[in-house]
Amino acid sequence: MTETKPLYNPPTVVGIFMHQARRFGDKKLSMAKKGGAWETKTWRQALESLPSGVMGLFALGFEKGDTIGIAGRTRVEWSEADMTILAAGGVTVGLYPSASLWEMTHVVSHSGLQICFVEDEALLDKLLAVRAKTGLPKKMVAMHLGIMGAYAESIDKLVENFQELRPTVQVSVPQIFDRIYNRVRQMLDSGSPLKRRIFQWAVDVGRKTAPYRHQNQSLPFFQALKHAVAHRLVFSKIHNVFGGRVKYLTALITLNESELKIFAGRENLAQIEPAALTDHQKVRQAVSEHVQAVNSRLAPYEQIKRFIILPRDFSEEAGELTPTLKIRRREIIKRYGDKIESLYGE
């Protein structure tokens, strides 16, 4: 049996990070706000700063396999501390800032915490109280490692940060979306009855539109008209709250020519040219069913929401593939940019 070579070496979270850092080099990895201005960090900078953090842990008496805590809110330093711990061979233990003294004492004592990164003085005081009872953690370090991920400054500044960064993807816990929804509801409650009725009407239109979007089907004429009006009056304003560029997962799909010929013969479509077949209703339906089958095994945020079938496969001759058959993304975007943009259109 042939042994499969792992894609990443080592095949771990740290291995993936190192692989991507060498791959992307001087491309931007993250952004974080410092002193009122957004600062960027490259993959190369993040990789080069990692060894100093690891050596710092060993200087504190760390031994491979030790548990190390991170007491802080979701912030850039949390992620970098976590990567440093993993790279050193440690085990990360998260401590919620809102945890009671009893809860924190329980976690620290049961995990045998040796070292802990601490966000601020309030948490430092709480951990000092824990150490007075348990003798742990033995060492505490202020979190000032740098940047490892683009995070909002705080929940209160989410909307402001959205407007500044205009993200194309937002990753968040459900609580954040609940807060945004509640904020919209509060704004409506203070508005006129007419605005509330328009908003509720738009929500109903969106719910009726969603099944068509999920199945990559065109909207019926009147539903498309309603959705266009709802977008103009309501959805566009909510979209702009997120910076106007938050997108969903889409796909450019190419079909295997030999498999397409087999399908055409089975469906009595052999007389149609291969390029024209990709627009045929039966072909689109078969592809849509396959996409739905794949989506059924994925989380909602991983699912393909909309797609376009291209008239031919990518090729090296057309400049879309490298000699090793890797996709030339810039060429694809340049050639099919209008189609990609149409996937995010209304």
What token pair was written down for 182?
Answer: 């509640």
Residue 2 has pLDDT above 60, yes or no: no
Residues 112 and 26 in one domain: yes
**Residue 123 and residue 33 share a domain:** yes
C-alpha 48/C-alpha 57 separation (Å) is 16
- Whether 5 maps to a domain, the answer reads no
Nearest to 339 by CA among 215, 255, 251: 251
- Clarify whether residues 271 and 312 are in a common domain: yes
| Higher pLDDT among residues 241 and 19, named by residue | 19
pLDDT value of residue 107: 92
CB 82 within 8 A of CB 146: no
Burial of 162 (0-12, 13-18, 19+ CB in 10 A): buried
pLDDT tens profile 132-143: 888 888 888 877
Q: Identify whether residues 24 and 116 lie together within a single domain.
A: yes
Confidence band of 64 (pLDDT split at 50, 70, 90) = very high
Residue numbers of the domain that contains 49 = 13-142
Which one of 93, 120, 142 terminates a domain? 142
Q: Is the pLDDT of residue 308 over 80?
A: yes
Final residue in a domain of this structure, among 239, 258, 277: 239
pLDDT of residue 85: 94
Specify whether 84 is located in the same domain as 123: yes
| Tens of pLDDT, residues 196-249 | 888 889 888 988 888 887 676 778 888 888 888 988 888 877 777 666 666 667
184 and 232 in a single domain? The answer is yes
Tell whether 254 and 313 lie within a shared domain: yes
Q: For residue 20, give every residue at least 6 positions away whose Cβ sits within 8 Å of its Cβ, in sequence order, or none.
A: 43
Residue 77 lies in a domain: yes
With respect to residue 160, please indicate whether it lies within any of the assigned structural domains.
no
pLDDT in tens, 244-293: 666 667 888 888 888 888 888 888 887 787 778 888 888 888 988 888 88
Tally of structural domains, the chain: 3
- Separation CA 302–CA 246 (nearest Å): 15
Pairwise CA distance, residues 194 & 204, whole Å:
15
Pair (19, 95) in one structural domain: yes
Position 121 confidence tier, pLDDT thresholds 50, 70, 90: confident
| Residue 263 neighbours by CB under 8 Å, 6+ apart | 269, 283, 286
> pTM score, two decimals?
0.46
Token match 């909307």: residue? 159
What's the pLDDT band for 147 if we cut at 50, 70, 90?
very low
Mean pLDDT of 301-319: 82
Q: Is the pLDDT of residue 174 over 50?
A: yes
In a domain, 213, yes or no: yes
Residue 18 and residue 125 in one domain: yes
Residues 199 and 227 in one domain: yes
Contacts by 255-260, CB closer than 8 A, 24 or more apart = 255/283, 255/287, 255/309, 255/313, 256/313, 257/312, 257/313
In a domain, 158, yes or no: no
pLDDT band of residue 148 (cuts 50, 70, 90) is very low
Tell me what the mean pLDDT of segment 10-16 comes to: 84
pLDDT at 67 (0 to 100): 94
